[in-house]
Chain A
Amino acid sequence: MTSVANSTGGAGALPTPSVSPRKSVTGTRLWVAVLFLLPAFVLLGALVVYPIGYSVWRSLYDADGSGFVGLKNYGDIFSNDATLTAVRNTAIWVAVAPAIVTALGLIFAVMTERVRWGTAFKLIVFMPMAISMLAAGIIFRLVYEQDPGLGAANAVAKSIHDTFVSSSVYPGARPNETATDLKPSGGGSFTTTGTVKAGTPALLPLVGIAPNRLPGTPENARTASGSGVTGTVWLDFKLGGGGTKGKVDPGEKALKGVKVEAVKGGKVVASAQSGADGTFTLPAEADGAQLRLPASNFSAPYNGIDWLGPTLVTPAIIGAYVWMWAGFAMVLIAAGLAGVDRNLLEAARVDGANEWQVFRRVTVPLLAPVLVVVLITLMINVMKIFDLVYIIAPQPSQDDANVLALQLFLSSFGGGGNEGVGSAIGVILLLLVLPVMFVNIRRLRKERQR
């Protein structure tokens, strides 16, 4: 103590020779040190230590904060399905999100080093960081919107889907259940239970489309005639209702271009398409066959992916998180990359390593400390993820997207209003973050020693 004091005292005494060296030593006296540390201690105590202590204390009390319940709140947490889902989802978040963000950041950082407009690219990738979590959440709520006309993600999915699969002419049409023997026969197709006979025209009434919304200008339907195997496909509903179900009434519109298959013993023996007046004629071998309207006539328009449904909601929100934080990882890693000794890379290349080997065996190991910093920072960040989940997940799948921080909020301030359970979740969250912090501190110490 004294030797340190003396040495610093000596150094400090130099600019003010008039003051004796003895006085300037006061700077290291205990009470002065305490005085100077006091503001920091008060702030830390009031803002960090006290809230932690109070949360621990509060977690042992019931909803009102009046009755002591011991560890019951903790028991409740682990017997509650919602919290268990939250724990599972938080685990998924911690395992997946930081890894993806760091990997993407690494790729971006290495790539931008080599391209011409690297800085511009970096700027764009980093830009989402300037947006608040709340705004990003709202943006992605729109991106993941189900309606392909509104949601960007589904607009892309739909246009890709529609390039490969053409949509049907009469989506949503279906047989009139009460007036026909056409029954669903799996996969969206309909088959008659009876068989068709030559000379008795088959009637295949369909409903489910508004008569004024048929494509083109449909003609009125006509009952087929003739001695062959014939029939009519038509819309058994006219504007304003009326008419007999299952009969071709005047004014009911024909459905043109519907594919009709004749099936015998599970095999298609013939097929035809309905004409402009809704009639079709099958060859003679179709006599005695069942008629089938294949699903291709009716397949509903592709409606995109259910991004925010129960199964995909967590990956979808992680996607939004990656979009936000990839820039952060990239900037840190790029800074680390700038400090890497180029000679080492050159040496590896001279030794005959290809680019992949250079990246894998030289660049990445050299960047390891930075990568660990990024990874750990993100891990801590991800454990307390709240805003994105709260905003993006719609009500019906909020449970499936639940994470610990959200569950903390919901049990404290949601309908239950149980701050005891909320505090208990907070304490558990703290316990989960502690090991990561510990690793981080130890790593920092090691680095300092180096």
Chain B
Amino acid sequence: MRSTSSKNRTRRAAKSAAALLAAALALALTGCGGNDNKSSNGGGSSGSSGSVKLPKLNGQTLEVAAVWTGAEQDNFMKVMDEFKKRTGAKVNFVPTGNNTSTFLGTKIQGGQPPDVAFLPQVGVLHQFADKGWLKPLGADAKAQLEKNFSKGWVDLGAWKGKQYGVYAKAANKSLVWYNTKAFEAAGITTPPKTWKDFLSTAQTLSDAGSPAVSIGGADGWTLTDWFENVYLSQAGPEKYDQLAAHKIKWTDPSVKEALTTLAQLWGKNDLIAGGTKGALNTEFPKSVTQTFSGSTPAAMVFEGDFVAANINGDTKAKLGTDAKVFPFPAVGSQAPVVSGGDVAVALKDSKGAQALLTFLASTDAAEIWAAQGGILSPNKEMDQSKYKDAITGQIAKQLLAAGDNFRFDMSDQAPAAFGGTAGIGEWKDLQDFLRNPKDVAGTQQKLEADAAKAYAAG
């Protein structure tokens, strides 16, 4: 997804930037150490200031595995630089590639687990915890976690009564990004708040001659996100949880209602950029670029906060002026907040791993990370003004405002064979539905058949 051609150059640039940043931070921290409330429980054995107490780990080397590459990895390493400064422990980053669970599984079975890993799916956390591969959080990390995170996020990192993970990085998947020029041309001044408004806005945009909604249907996961937002808002969080755990069937009337609602948009070729056929040939990155560049750009594209990275990287549009964002419209009584995120877990029972998790749960780490851009932190105690740009701050606010009413991406909770594999399961079934939005009942049956098989296999 991201270009790697200029990796070396960006690395070097990142390194010098990191050095600068570390220096600046050191200045800032020592400068405000005297009168700031942050220093109340700082200092201690680590000898450095900040809101968190960390042990001395001089000479140790920790290994951290996560899916990030390129800029995302560089941003994370800046947080690690601070960790090194405070504890003296060196951190090595191991990229896992796209299939994180397979990569970690082989590492663990081979007896070489990394100290800390970031898992992209809740399902993997459960699976690993059941196998006994994860080490529970220590007291320090737990204290930080409970101080800084709301219950919903704390519980997401727990399984069967034990706390394993820290959700240090979150994604807000209930956003619609729009091309401000298209909205101006169509004379739309306020973004839609409800699904009905959303449809009529789309109709107006289409009348004005811009393809209204860009859908990246060649990637199945964007379609599952569409469904999840509609379903969460329409059927409510309880039903959402039941469906995610496959306690109710996909043939449930609530699913029918959600699919019928989706069909109000997906069934209208006029409203979709390129029609449904075009949407099925559009990968996620293209769905963003065709909204913010080209001769006839589309007006709106739905997806999470990470769209910002594609807008910045692949188009000339400017966030905040050419590209703006509004929350996914409310289908039922409340607008949905569907989230995703990476959970940090310890795979080794070491002091270093616990210290790292403690640090990641702290506001200091969240603030440094947020300042790099491209991430959201569910840390509610952090200074929200540290976000790199106003848009990210707005998105983070929306995520936190949901309190514990947000729900984790359903397809990420499902077994990978249903919710996480290209060409099969929910991804494929929703693509078929996009191809033929009239077939609600048939889609439900296929979804149920695939889900039954995948959940039975575990």
Contact = CB atoms under 8 A, between A and B. Distances in A.
B270 interface: yes
Contact of A241 (B204, B277, B423): B204
Contacts of A396: 217-218, 220, 280, 428, 431-432, 435
B384 interface: no
Contacts of A209: 209
Contacts of B427: 395
A240 B218 contact: no
Interface string B158-196: 000000000000000000000000001111100000000
A37 interface: no
A418 interface: yes
B207 A237 contact: yes
B220 to A, nearest CB: 6
Interface in A175-204: 176
B422 A398 contact: yes
B281 A395 contact: no
Nearest to B431: A396
Given A213-B296, A395-B218, A241 B424 contact: no
A353 interface: no
Interface in B400-449: 415-418, 420-425, 427-428, 431-432, 435
B28 interface: no
Nearest to A172: B209
B391 interface: no
Contact of B187 (A208, A240, A309): A240
Contacts of A146: 278, 281
Contacts of B102: 413, 417
Contacts of A395: 218-220, 422-423, 427-428, 431
Given A396-B280, A415-B416, A237 B209 contact: yes
Interface in B263-283: 270, 277-278, 280-281
Contacts of A82: 424
Nearest to B217: A396
B210 interface: yes
Contacts of B187: 240-242
A415 B424 contact: yes
Given A174-B270, A395-B422, A395-B427, A415 B417 contact: yes
Contacts of B185: 210-212, 239-241
Given A240-B184, A395-B431, A208 B270 contact: yes
A427 interface: no
Nearest to A63: B457
Nearest to B446: A81
Given A240-B187, A394-B218, A399-B428, A416 B421 contact: yes
A377 B101 CA distance: 39
A211 B209 contact: yes
Nearest to B420: A415
B208 interface: yes
A136 to B, nearest CB: 21
A355 interface: no
A207 interface: yes
Given A395-B219, A395-B427, A399-B428, A241 B186 contact: yes
Contacts of A172: 209
Nearest to B207: A207
Contact of B416 (A212, A241, A417): A417
Interface centre among A242, A398, A414, A418 (most CB of B within 10 A): A414
B392 interface: no
Interface string A240-275: 111000000000000000000000000000000000
Contacts of B186: 237, 240-241
B362 to A, nearest CB: 36
A242 B206 CA distance: 15
A276 interface: no
B209 A414 contact: no
A152 interface: no
B454 interface: yes
Interface string A402-427: 00000000100111111000000000
A135 to B, nearest CB: 18
A208 B205 CA distance: 8
A203 B334 CA distance: 42
B361 to A, nearest CB: 31
A415 B458 CA distance: 11
A213 B219 CA distance: 31
Contacts of A414: 417, 421-424
Nearest to A300: B275
A399 B421 CA distance: 12
A306 B277 contact: yes
A207 B271 CA distance: 13
A399 B424 contact: yes
A416 B204 contact: no
Given A415-B420, A415-B424, A394 B281 contact: yes
Contact of B296 (A176, A210, A415): A210
Contacts of A417: 102, 416-417
A208 B207 contact: yes
A416 B5 CA distance: 34
A414 B421 CA distance: 7
B454 A416 contact: yes
Interface string B216-237: 0111100000000000000000
A82 B424 CA distance: 9
Interface string B1-40: 0000000000000000000000000000000000000000
A180 to B, nearest CB: 12
A88 B219 CA distance: 26
Interface in B286-310: 296
A398 B432 CA distance: 12
A130 B187 CA distance: 57
Nearest to B210: A210
Contact of A415 (B184, B208, B210, B421): B421
A146 B280 CA distance: 11
A297 to B, nearest CB: 16
Contacts of A176: 207
A178 to B, nearest CB: 9
B233 to A, nearest CB: 26
Nearest to B424: A415
A276 B424 CA distance: 54
A237 B188 CA distance: 13
A63 B423 CA distance: 20
Contacts of A308: 281
Contacts of A239: 185
Interface in A272-302: none
Contacts of A236: 207
Contacts of B208: 207, 210-211, 237, 241
Interface centre among A146, A172, A211, A395 (most CB of B within 10 A): A395
A394 B284 CA distance: 13
A212 B181 CA distance: 12
19 contacts: A146-B278, A146-B281, A174-B270, A176-B207, A207-B209, A209-B209, A210-B208, A240-B187, A241-B208, A242-B187, A308-B281, A396-B220, A396-B431, A396-B435, A398-B422, A399-B424, A415-B418, A417-B416, A417-B417
Given A207-B206, A209-B209, A395-B431, 18 more contacts: A82-B424, A174-B270, A207-B207, A211-B185, A211-B209, A212-B185, A237-B186, A239-B185, A240-B187, A306-B277, A308-B281, A395-B219, A395-B427, A395-B428, A396-B428, A410-B424, A414-B423, A415-B425
Interface of B: 102, 184-188, 204, 206-210, 217-220, 270, 277-278, 280-281, 296, 415-418, 420-425, 427-428, 431-432, 435, 454, 457
What are the nearest 3 A-B pairs in CB distance? A241-B187, A415-B421, A210-B209
